[in-house]
Amino acid sequence: MADAYEHYVDGEWVAGEGAETFQSRNPATGETLGAFRRGTPADVDRAVAAAADAFEEWRALSRIERAEYLWDVYHELRDRHEELGAIVTRECGKEISEGKADVTEAWHMVEWAAGDARHPKGDVVPSEIPEKDAYMRRKPRGVTGCITPWNFPVAIPYWHMAIALVEGNTVVWKPAEQTPWCGQIIAEMFDDAGIPDGVFNLVQGYGDAGNAIVEHDEVATVLFTGSAEVGHQIQEKLGGVPGRRAACEMGGKNAVVVTERADLDVAVHSAVMSSFKTTGQRCVSSERLIVHTDVYDEFKARFVDIAESIAVGDPLAEDTFMGPLIEPEHFEKVSKYNELARAEGVNVLVDRTELDAEEIPDGHEAGNWIGPFVYEADPDADLRCTHEEVFGPHVALLEYEGGIERAVELQNDTDYGLAGAIVSEDYRQINYYRDHAELGLAYGNLPCIGAEVQLPFGGVKKSGNGYPSAREAIEAVTDRTAWTLNNSTEIQMAQGLSADIKTTED
Ligand code: UN1
């Protein structure tokens, strides 16, 4: 079908079994960006079969040979930086520096994975027996199902796929239904690179297609980055199934701690970046600011001042700080949480849920606009608004008294444990936080967003099992073998175990 972009299966563009299509829309204008075939479980079956068929030949290549395909992708990402950055911005609404950073993060991940192909892999391990050589070696697990979110529509797919592929797995990928255009471009890049048929497969679509990947017995590993709700379902489904594995990275109710020893310029800057970049739609965004009573009033005045005036607008314009939310349903969700906070009795300081008409740029009336919502709440109250992830510019100020122990207790008063930051000039406070905050990603005197790809990315508690990027993703997509080779003609056992065979003849 020429009127809708297709799936990419076994090296071909295919319409698939389903009759339905869906559209990608620009969240800042409502404009339609393209129509895409909606994948069905039958399309996933076909893609998994292609990936399973391609596995033996792909794994037989050296890691360095496999990485060659990724280097082609790396160069294309770099060469098309400006163009792709603008596409990211048009499709997911992040302001343009973020759109471009998404593409940069993608090539960083590709560079890491392809460069890693020439690094030593596995371990040489000592043996008690001098004649034995022992090693830890890795094997690819097979078909890897990748399910990725819309907020990093180019970077996160490469977190999963670059590593899975270099390690020798084949891939079936379902991008978020909000960002199929980015998905299409990534598939074109693999096609341009000449990746062998069936090694990389794309099925566009919704949760039913994602679920078909999760439920497919031939998908050895599922890599998932997205909502806690879906991630926990995946973990539950695969948790008890022998031979299958899920590596999930989910959300957070992240916090920035500002102590009485903070440099308030750093504190305010870090808090604004953490709470409002990407319009609060990063899984690492901060929705809680835990601020010591001694600096609370000044911090509050400065933070509120910026929240009232932060530039919301056309994400393609260089002077915009916050673009729109991803889709109308998400606007509904965020505005409901803003209402809920009021109903829970918090003290609202800034409410830009509905922007004034003059704040909305011309021609962008149909965008999913929202501004900051900032309030102060009792840190000890059991409120939904201060404990549930909103995924928007919805921020609670929580005032605390006492030492760093109290701040960290509040930081940890959440089911999640993804990202967080402390702002302080006191190294003892910083180190206490470093050692006791329950987090996968923690920062001192910085925002809690903006991790680099060579760090592990992932959380603890309800935020996931900490796998889906860099070295940790290698753990998810490979199995280890402890391999021991005897160089002697005699069998000798470790642990003093006798190797003598005794018979009744002896
Ligand atoms: C996400 O929050 O959904 O650390 C991913 C960061 C980015 C990735 C964020 N490198 O902010």
**pLDDT tens digits along 62-93:** 999 999 999 999 999 999 999 999 999 999 99
Residue 470 · residue 158 · CB < 8 Å: no
Indicate whether 267 and 372 sit together in one domain.
Answer: yes
As a whole number, the mean pLDDT across the chain is 97
Does the CB atom of residue 106 touch ligand 1 within 6 A?
Answer: no
472 and 440 share one domain:
no
> Which of 284, 391, 452, when mutated, tests ligand 1's pocket best, judged by the most ligand atoms within 8 Å of its CB?
284
The reply to whether the predicted model has a pTM over 0.75 is: yes
Q: Determine the average pLDDT of the residues in 390-411.
A: 98
71-77, long-range: CB < 8 A, 24+ apart: 71/110, 71/114, 72/189, 72/192, 72/193, 72/194, 73/110, 73/162, 73/189, 73/190, 73/193, 74/107, 74/110, 74/111, 74/114, 76/189, 76/192, 76/193, 77/103, 77/106, 77/107, 77/110, 77/154, 77/189
Write the CB contacts of 442 (distance below 8 Å, at least 6 apart in sequence). Answer: 419, 420, 421, 422, 433, 434, 448
Nearest to 161 by CA among 179, 145, 178, 183: 145
Q: Whole-angstrom Cα distance, residue 47 to residue 44?
A: 5
Q: Helix H segments across 223-374?
A: 228-239, 264-276, 293-309, 328-343
Does 449 sit in the ligand 1 pocket, CB within 6 Å? yes
Ligand 1 atom closest to 149 (CA): 3
Q: With CA atoms as reference, report the closest residue to 445 among 264, 252, 251.
A: 264
Residue 393 and residue 262 in one domain: yes
Residue whose CB lies within 8 A of the most ligand 1 atoms, among 250, 282, 453, for a mutation test: 282
- The pLDDT of residue 470 is 75
For ligand 1, mutation pick of 94, 98, 416, 449 (most atoms within 8 Å of CB): 449
CATH number at residue 144: 3.40.605.10
Catalytic site residue 249? Answer: yes
CA of 506 to the centre of ligand 1 (A): 69
Count of structural domains within the chain: 2
Q: Measured from the CA of 451, which atom of ligand 1 is nearest?
A: 4
Residue 506 pLDDT more than 90? Answer: no
Question: By CB neighbour count within 10 A (0-12 exposed, 13-18 middle, 19+ buried), where does 265 fall?
Answer: exposed
pLDDT band at 1 (very low <50, low <70, confident <90, very high): very low
* Three-state secondary structure of 195-251: CCCCCEEECCCCHHHHHHHHHCCCEEEEEEECCHHHHHHHHHHHHCCCCCEEEEECC
Tens of pLDDT, residue by residue over 332-352, are 999 999 999 999 999 999 999
Q: What is the pLDDT of residue 92?
A: 98
| Average pLDDT score over residue span 405-416 | 98
Q: Give yes or no: residues 148 and 192 share one domain.
A: yes
What's the pLDDT score for residue 265? 98
| Atom number in ligand 1 closest to CA 225 | 3
One domain, residues 300 and 232: no
- The reply to whether ligand 1 has any atom less than 6 angstroms from the CB of 334 is no
For 464, the 3-state DSSP assignment is strand
| C-beta 273 within 6 A of ligand 1 | no
Per-residue pLDDT tens over the stretch 237-265: 998 899 999 999 999 999 999 999 999 99
215-233 pLDDT, tens digit each:
999 999 999 999 999 999 9
* Residue 497 in domain: no
Q: Enter the DSSP assignment of 255.
A: E
CA–CA distance, 163 with 106 (Å, rounded to integer): 12
Do 180 and 312 sit in the same domain of this protein? Answer: no
* Identified catalytic residue from 249, 260, 388, 438: 249
Which of 224, 287, 454, 457, when mutated, tests ligand 1's pocket best, judged by the most ligand atoms within 8 Å of its CB? 457
Q: pLDDT, tens digit, for every residue of 457-479?
A: 889 999 988 777 778 899 999 99
Which amino acid, one-letter code, is at 327?
E
CATH of residue 293's domain is: 3.40.309.10
Q: Confidence class of residue 3 from pLDDT cuts 50, 70 and 90?
A: confident
Domain assignment present for residue 62? The answer is yes
| Tokens representing residue 246 in the block | 């899920």
Among residues 374, 414, 452, 370, the alpha carbon closest in space to that of 254 is found at 414
CB 397 within 8 A of CB 377: yes
Residue among 105, 418, 407, 118 at smallest CA distance from 253 = 418
Q: Are 370 and 439 contained in the same domain? A: yes
Q: Higher pLDDT residue, 98 or 456?
A: 98
**How many whole angstroms separate alpha carbon 51 and alpha carbon 10?**
7
> Do 241 and 352 belong together in one domain?
no
Is the predicted pLDDT of residue 145 greater than 60, yes or no? yes
CA 278 – ligand 1 centroid, Å = 10
Report how far ligand 1's centroid is from the alpha carbon of 168 (Å): 26
Specify whether 468 is located in the same domain as 389.
no
**Does ligand 1 lie within 6 Å of residue 98's CB atom?**
no
State how far the Cα of 297 lies from the Cα of 286, in Å rounded to an integer.
20
202 lines ligand 1 (CB under 6 A): no
Average pLDDT score over residue span 272-280: 98
Q: Kindly give the number of the ligand 1 atom that is closest to the alpha carbon of 105.
A: 10
Q: Which of 444, 472, 493 is the last residue of a domain?
A: 444
267 C-beta closer than 6 A to ligand 1 = no
* Number of residues that make up the chain: 506
Specify the pLDDT at position 2: 53
Asked if residue 274 and residue 238 are part of one domain, the reply reads no
Nearest CA, atom 7, ligand 1? 450
So what's the pLDDT on residue 471?
A: 81
> Structural domain of residue 242, as residue ranges?
7-18+32-250+464-484
* Whether residue 44 is found in the same domain as residue 179: yes
For residue 441, the ligand 1 atom closest to its alpha carbon is 4
Q: Is 443 in the pocket of ligand 1 (CB under 6 A)?
A: no
Both 139 and 171 in a single domain? Answer: yes
**How far apart are the two ends of the chain, measured CA to CA in Å?**
80
Catalytic residue chosen out of the listed positions 146, 248, 283, 385: 283
Atom of ligand 1 nearest to the CA of 418: 2
Contact 367, 360 (CB under 8 A): yes
Residue 492 lies in a domain: no
